[in-house]
Structure 1
Amino acid sequence: MESGRQMSDVRYPFTAIVGMADLRLGLLLNAVSPAVGGVLVRGEKGTAKSTMVRALAGLLPSIATVPGCRFACDPASADPQCPDGPHALAAAEERPAHLVELPVGVSEDRIVGSLDLERALAEGVKAYEPGLLAKAHRGVLYIDEVNLLQDHVVDLLLDAAAMGRSYVEREGVSVRHAARFLLVGTMNPEEGELRPQLLDRFGLTVEIAATRDPGERAEVVRRRLAYDADPDGFAARYAEDERELAERITAARELLPQVELTDVALRQITAVCAAFEVDGLRADIVMARTAVALAAWDGRTEVLEEDVRKAAQLALPHRRRRNPFDAPGLDEEQLDRTLDEHSEGPDDEGPDNEGPDDEGPGGGPDGGGAPEPVGDAPDGSAASDEPSETVPPQGAPAKANAPVAAAGEPYRTRLFKVPGTGKGAQGRRSPAETDGGHTIRSRRPQGHLSRLHLSATLQAAAPHQVARGRDSRALVLHRDDFREQVRQGRESNLVLFVVDASGSMAARQRMTAVKGAVMSLLMDAYQRRDKIGMITFRGASAELALPPTSSVEVGAARLEQLPTGGRTPLAAGLLRAHEVLRVERMRDPHRRPLLVVVTDGRATGGRDALAQAGQAAGLLAGQGLASVVLDCEAGPVRLGLARTLAAQLGGPAVTLDELRAEGVAALVHAHRPVNHDRKAA
């Protein structure tokens, strides 16, 4: 593998990249058959994800296009709906397939193209400027850090990839054109996951990591340094290998229509998808297309069991994910067992063919079932409350005086929102001005007009028609008349958890319930597309356990490993939250925060500990910060300290029992904010 950005116009050769066989194969299969549906590349930073994708573009065969067509129409089968058409017969132009890279902050208009509504309405001219999908047609669309794109943008891209066509609809003006491309997305899971619905839309997924073999790492560095020193000379050394690989892609494309997907192979594909309980039928279709592409890549005209096995390894792992805390994966033993059970045709099945060799795993009456679940009870409970029986998760640091309790089972929580109307990234939590949602008012266009408010435009133009000399039924429009829609939807927020991990929280069953509550809030933050951060305080200080991130999985892992014990520096935790939020406001000024303090309200560290905590809470409240206190106090005698802290912060206090969504109806009035500039509702 190679890492780093190219400093030269000469692409790093695909055949010069060390290792990463699965990624290499996944990209090549999509080059042979774009109908496979693209590749999602998951891996840590510095693993040559971008380098390999850019190198692949240089291997694709050149394409014939209609001269002057901005949409790369094929002269042999021009798109009848092409905005630049209809196309007359003309000599074709040959050009390389385009590699189009999508920036993280890309807008919807930049992707699908933009219509000049002002000219369309005022002059009757359909002025359309093609977007990146038009440029990527018959080439490669590369999305680096696809998990950082807004969900509606990813939906739009995947819809175009699935349908092979892009649509632009604006106030009755419609443009559509072909958009078939090889889709490649890369992501670092540490920066946040794609939701399962979007994962499912990628045909294949590949997990990559840097090699730990010193010899391979040395070869990676050696080749990279050689390329940086002389890009042209380095590329020339691999030119013959590149040519041979490009010819093999072309040959596999030509062979693809002749490949036969036998009934046995098809039954194996559907049996595997059923055994792994994947949702829908997209996995079956993707596996079939991948297996056919594998056969063509190997120069065969018949799909074999080895093709089905490899197709499953590439097409199913990301479809096994059921919740945000699951890691993609595939049980290889279950895969082999399912393939073996369906390796013969229907005529070879039945009791007459059973024998001693049919016994064993997968051969008995229960052999076709899924393996028995292995793991702890879902509630994480144990027979004893002794700290010595609390075993930290694998990889967590063992501390003799800091027991680690398991988290309870997550559940659906009530919704907490930041009051007012924000302007942050689209999500599912708090009210905000967004591209989606319902129209709440109109305004003069701020930049390019994309969402016309028709009635407001007509009202603005109507008083001026006589002065403009209107002498027909047509309305005379000027630029100052146009109004655009202002829509209100929902935004994502920064949910910052401040978790008390002191000795007063250390009782095993209690901390299990507390961790289960925070895990539930993490699940809720994932579903609402929020960023999360986590501060813990215990002993003598507060620690930023998780800097603000989109990766809820990392937050869940840090929570599972959180030890408890020691004193309760509540003021330190609140002051650390103040500092983290100050920095985040500078980094992302439009993302509004929601502070969730998880504590029983106790504070130790001197006679003035509670007073200091109150001062720190007042400092946060003075900024109009939305906050919620999760009251973890237990026992027959309650001091009400958490509720006092909530009042100082200017937000509601919610007990663990009240957190569950089932109790929302009874709590709506009890926790209604008094000061809507400060409280979470």
Structure 2
Amino acid sequence: MTTTYPFSAIVGMDGLRLALLLNAVSPAVGGVLVRGEKGTAKSTAVRAIAALLPAVDVVAGCRFSCDPAAPDPSCPDGPHEPDTGEARPARMVELPVGASEDRLVGALDIERALSDGVKAFEPGLLADAHRGVLYVDEVNLLHDHLIDLLLDAAAMGASYVEREGVSVRHAARFLLVGTMNPEEGELRPQLLDRFGLTVEVAASRDTDERVEVVRRRLAYDEDPEGFAARWAADEAALRERIAAARALLPRVGLGDRALRQIAAVCAGFEVDGMRADIVTARTATALAAWADRTDVRTEDVRGAALLSLPHRRRRAPFDAPGLDEDKLDEILRQFEEDEPEPDPDAGPEGPDSPDDGPDGPGGPENPGGGPQEGAGDGAGEQAPPAAPEPSVPDQRTGEHETADRETDSARADGDGGAGESAEGTGGSGGERAAVGAAAPFRTRRLDVPGLGEGAAGRRSRARSAHGRTTGARRPRGTLSALHLTATVRAAAPHQRARGRRGPGLLVRRDDLREAVREGREGNLVLFVVDASGSMAARTRMSAIKGAVLSLLLDAYQRRDKVGLITFRGADAELALPPTSSVDAAAVRLERLPTGGRTPLAAGLLKAREVLRVERLRDPSRRPLLVVVTDGRATEAKRAGGPTPVERAGRAARMLAGDGVASVVVDCESGPVRLGLAGALARELRATPVTLDELRADSVTALVRDVRTVSNPRRAA
């Protein structure tokens, strides 16, 4: 058995350690979501806290870890005999990203239930984690319906398995810990709210601390047992303190003043619903118990708010979670006049006296209560970086629009030439600074045609495990979604031959039919954005960025993966490889400079290569190509070779031949229009859409779906 890295040996990461300890003291807090960059020891800290949890008494032989003092009356293994308890360590169960629904909640054997009338239930990971820790690494990559099941069980303390009228219920109370790297995608706000606390972690920039991290990790890797033995006394002290805080927790009083502080803080940060107030109250109570006190004070409310509110406050799309501590202090300051004076005769209150601040012996700087030495496979916590201020386009009256139209008119005579020089320095040079995006808007839904089988999402039609039932088929592997009507219809003609007498139906394996369901899938939305000089007029580029930002927001809501390719100057660049992090795409877009020639063919060929690689990685995820351009192609001409327009047309036909569903966002503006984007759409067999037609409230007639157009006239 592998020796776990000691929790007390972890360097820094004070917020994470405190959040985990508070959940160990009071599982009702609701778990922890750990957000941070890779390599910051998130997993090490989670595994280490499990080893500190007190042992649990369970009914001998019960697969659901029932407490012998209060067994679950609905336990599938019950009823239990008295005096059959045994002690075992609290478990830590890991939920892999690729787990199925049956693996999470358990599998009910529908065949035996129908044919033999027996509830044959195989417990899942939720049953294994009961009264222990359930750890989900990369929780943001877990399928949404699995996250819903997981969080529902954590909130209700029970898991329900329903299969065609046959149901099983069992207790499922556990400490839920999820970790995620925000660069790989965010969780929906509704799911963020279901985690009790959230913590941001980042690698320490302090040289001494980083040295200590490496020193301890190397010592642990060389001799895990010896390293753990050196920290055994600190681990034992921490384990005893958790047990003492758990015992004290029921006696902690949450006074009216503390409740008013909590309500004022939650109202001040405009959090939705009442879950934030409840979680903050439970966290403040756990903080008081951890400090060996029976009353909740202002510092407890402040500490609880810093952990429970950052992911719940209202924020703009693509803003990172965070909390304004100055605003928090200002809200709490109104209660200072009523703060009772400390009793000088009361003396210290155990390891955490009233004088202990956040850096004291019992504060988050040293949750173990001993001298802090720095730590193991981790690093210190840092505040999340502030979101960059978007640059604002100049607001000079009408100048940009006029210049934009003049530029379009100048380009009507050729492939760039003087127009390129007018907008930059010509060629591959001439770079303009990035301009800010216009305000995002709600876009129309653009779908990939046909019926896919990709990951669950909200964009294109797909066969899925959840959705409306559209038919039935013979089971493929384990039967999970029974189509009852089709099964009865298949079994009915054979009842006399099977010797049925009386009521009931004799069902055999060959009669079973599973439901075929249709829902929505997430797609790979690959943006190919023209950043050349012809797009560089500030008002136009601001509008274009606003449109792409709107499409990114739509992709986030529909659970798509996104990628970003830009082309300008002499070549195309993969600015963002396909990822679930729409936030990262928004940042790249905001910083995108413009200028130079228009290598349209290079952008399309780069898109084809990216899609080819992604098709190998994830064959079931269908792509949607979004080309944002005015259709011009003005790269340097090659002697004796095809023109830039001919090369772009050839690349477009190659993409069309691959069957890639595409949409071309026509960015051409001004009184003189060349229709080049429409011609590109015909070559791609794509749907051309203007910036105005992207809006969901546009009065322009627009097809909602992206169709692979076989008739070029239809695409025009």
TM-score (norm 2): 0.86
1:5-31: CA deviation from partner (whole Å, max 9, x where unpaired): xxx700000011110010000000000
How many angstroms does 1:108 deviate by? Answer: 1.0
CA contact (8 A) 1:53 1:142 kept: yes
Which of the numbers 160, 166, 179 marks the counterpart of 2:159? 166
The structural deviation recorded for 1:211 is 0.4
1:320 shift after superposition: 1.8
Alpha-carbon offset, residue 148 of structure 1? 0.3
User: Aligned residue for 2:660?
Assistant: 625
1:489 aligns with 2:524: no
Deviations 1:477-498 (A, max 9, x none): 1111100001000000000000
The answer as to 2:102 corresponding to 1:67 is no
Q: How does 1:32-51 map to 2 (within 5 A)?
A: 32-51=25-44
The answer as to 2:499 corresponding to 1:469 is yes
Alignment-derived partner of residue 273 in structure 2:
280
Q: Distance between the aligned counterparts of 2:46 and 2:340, measured in 1?
A: 45
> Is the 8 Å Cα contact of residues 378 and 408 (structure 1) preserved in structure 2?
no
Runs of at least 5 residues in structure 1 that lack an aligned partner in the other structure: 1-7, 349-373, 388-398
The CA deviation at 1:538 is 0.1
Per-residue Cα deviation, 1:125-145 (whole angstroms, up to 9, x for no partner): 110111100000000000000
Alpha-carbon offset, residue 460 of structure 1: 1.0
- Stretch deviating more after TM superposition (557-566 or 91-100): 91-100
CA distance in 2: counterparts of 1:101 and 1:519, whole angstroms = 36
Deviation track 1:403-456 (CA, whole Å, cap 9, x = no partner) reads 211100000001100010000000000000011110111111111111100111
Aligned equivalents of 1:347, 1:97: Cα separation in 2: 41
Q: Which amino acid aligns with 2:57?
A: A
CA pair 444-209 structure 1, distance change in 2 beyond 3 A? same
**8 Å CA contact retained: 1:295, 1:302:** yes
Question: CA-to-partner distance for each residue in 1:76-98, whole Å, 9 max, x for gaps?
Answer: 11111111111121231100011
- Contact 2:524–2:622 (Cα < 8 Å) also in 1: yes
Distance in 1 between residues matched to 2:262 and 2:706, nearest whole Å: 53
Of the candidates 245, 258, 265, which is equivalent to residue 265 of structure 1?
258
Q: Please state if 1:100 is matched with 2:93.
A: yes
Q: 1:120 to 1:381 in 2, by over 3 A?
A: farther
| Cα displacement string for residues 542-591 of structure 1 (whole angstroms, at most 9, x for unaligned residues) | 00000000000000000000000000000000000000000000000000
Aligned: 1:569 with 2:599: yes
Q: Which residue does 1:668 correspond to in 2?
A: 703
Provide the residue aligned with 1:432 in structure 2: 462
Measure the CA separation in 2 of the matches of 1:222 and 1:152.
42
Counterparts of 2:96 and 2:393, CA distance in 1: 43
**Amino acid aligned to 1:645:** L
Aligned to 2:174: 181
Check conservation: 1:536, 1:545, Cα contact below 8 A: yes
Partners in 2 of 1:449 and 1:273 — Cα distance? Answer: 46
| 2: CA distance, partners of 1:375 / 1:101 | 36
- Please name the residue that 1:383 is paired with: 396
The 3-state SS of whatever aligns with 1:319 is coil
For 1:254, the equivalent position in structure 2 comes to: 247
Equivalent residue of 2:238, what SS?
helix
Counterpart CA distance in 1 for 2:475 and 2:259 is 55
Alignment check: 8 A CA contact 1:420 1:676 kept: no
Shift in Å, 1:382 = 2.6
Seq. identity, %: 69
- In structure 1, the partner of 2:295 is 302
2:689 corresponds to 1:654: yes
Contact 1:192 1:553 in 2 (8 A): yes
In structure 2, the residue matched to 1:555 is: 585
TM-score, L = length of structure 1: 0.91
Does the C-alpha gap of structure 1 residues 166 and 381 become closer, same or farther in structure 2, counting only changes over 3 Å? farther
Q: Which amino acid aligns with 2:236?
A: R
Q: CA deviation at 1:529?
A: 0.2
CA 1:473–1:670 in 2, change beyond 3 Å: closer, same or farther?
A: closer
Indicate the residue corresponding to 2:404 in structure 1. none
In structure 1, what is the Cα distance between the partners aligned to 2:180 and 2:704? Answer: 43
Aligned pair in 2 of structure 1 residues 116, 672: CA closer, same or farther (>3 Å)? Answer: closer
CA distance in 2 between counterparts of 1:564 and 1:665 reads 30
Residue 223 (str. 1) matches residue 236 (str. 2): no
Secondary structure of the 2:265 match is: helix
- Check if 1:645 corresponds to 2:680: yes
Residue 608 (str. 1) matches residue 643 (str. 2): yes
> 1:632-678, CA deviations, whole angstroms, 9 ceiling, x for partnerless residues?
0011000000000011101110001111001267223898764499x
For 1:370-409, list aligned pairs within 5 A: 380=393, 382-383=395-396, 401-409=431-439
Q: Which string of whole-angstrom CA distances, capped at 9 and with x for unpartnered residues, describes residues 48-91 of structure 1?
A: 00001001110000000011111000011111111111112123
> Structure 1 439/68 Cα, relative in aligned 2: closer, same or farther at 3 Å?
same
- State the SS of the aligned residue for 1:486: strand
Select 2:671's aligned residue among 622, 636, 643. 636
Of the three residues 452, 473, 478, the one matched with 2:508 is 478
Measured at CA, do residues 323 and 588 of structure 1 come closer, stay the same or move farther in structure 2, by a change above 3 Å? farther
- Picking from 142, 148, 157, the partner of 2:150 is 157
Summarize the alignment of residues 230-245 of structure 1 with structure 2, pairs less than 5 Å apart.
230-245=223-238
For the residues of structure 2 that align with 1:51 and 1:521, how far apart are their CA atoms? 38
1:114 paired residue number: 107
For the residue of structure 2 that corresponds to 1:64, the secondary structure is: strand
Contact residue 321 and residue 327 of structure 1 kept, 8 A: no
Letter in 2 for 1:616: A
Matches within 5 A, 1:133-148: 133-148=126-141
Matched residue, 2:609:
579
Distance 1:378 1:156, change over 3 A: farther
Closer/same/farther in 2, CA of residues 557 and 378 from structure 1, 3 Å limit: closer
Q: Secondary structure at the match of 2:21?
A: helix
Equivalent residue for 1:132, pick from 121, 125, 134: 125
Amino acid of the structure 2 residue aligned with 1:527: Q
Write the distance in 1 (CA, Å) between the matches of 2:502 and 2:658: 58
Contact conserved, 2:448 with 2:707, CA < 8 A, in 1?
no
* Distance (whole Å) between structure 2 residues aligned to residue 429 and residue 246 of structure 1: 48
Aligned mates of 2:314, 2:65 — CA distance in 1: 38
**1:380 Cα shift?**
4.8
Aligned partner letter, 2:565: I
- Does 2:2 align with 1:9? yes
Q: Is the 8 A contact 2:666 2:690 kept in 1?
A: yes
In structure 2, C-alpha distance between the alignment counterparts of 1:669 and 1:557, rounded to whole Å: 28
- Does the residue aligned with 2:69 lie in a helix, a strand or coil? helix
Distance 2:448 2:705 in 1: 17
CA positional deviation for 1:37: 0.5
Matches of 2:149 and 2:705 in 1, distance apart?
41
Superposition CA RMSD, Å: 2.2
Q: Distance in 2 between matches of 1:163 and 1:381?
A: 53
Change (3 A) 1:14 1:664: farther
2:453 pairs with 1:423: yes
1:392 is matched with none
1:538 aligns with 2:568: yes
CA contact (8 A) 1:402 1:565 kept: yes
Which residue type is aligned with residue 201 of structure 2?
Answer: I
Structure 1 match to 2:488: 458
Tell whether the 8 Å contact from 1:414 to 1:661 is kept in structure 2 after alignment: yes
Tell whether the 8 Å contact from 1:321 to 1:328 is kept in structure 2 after alignment.
Answer: no
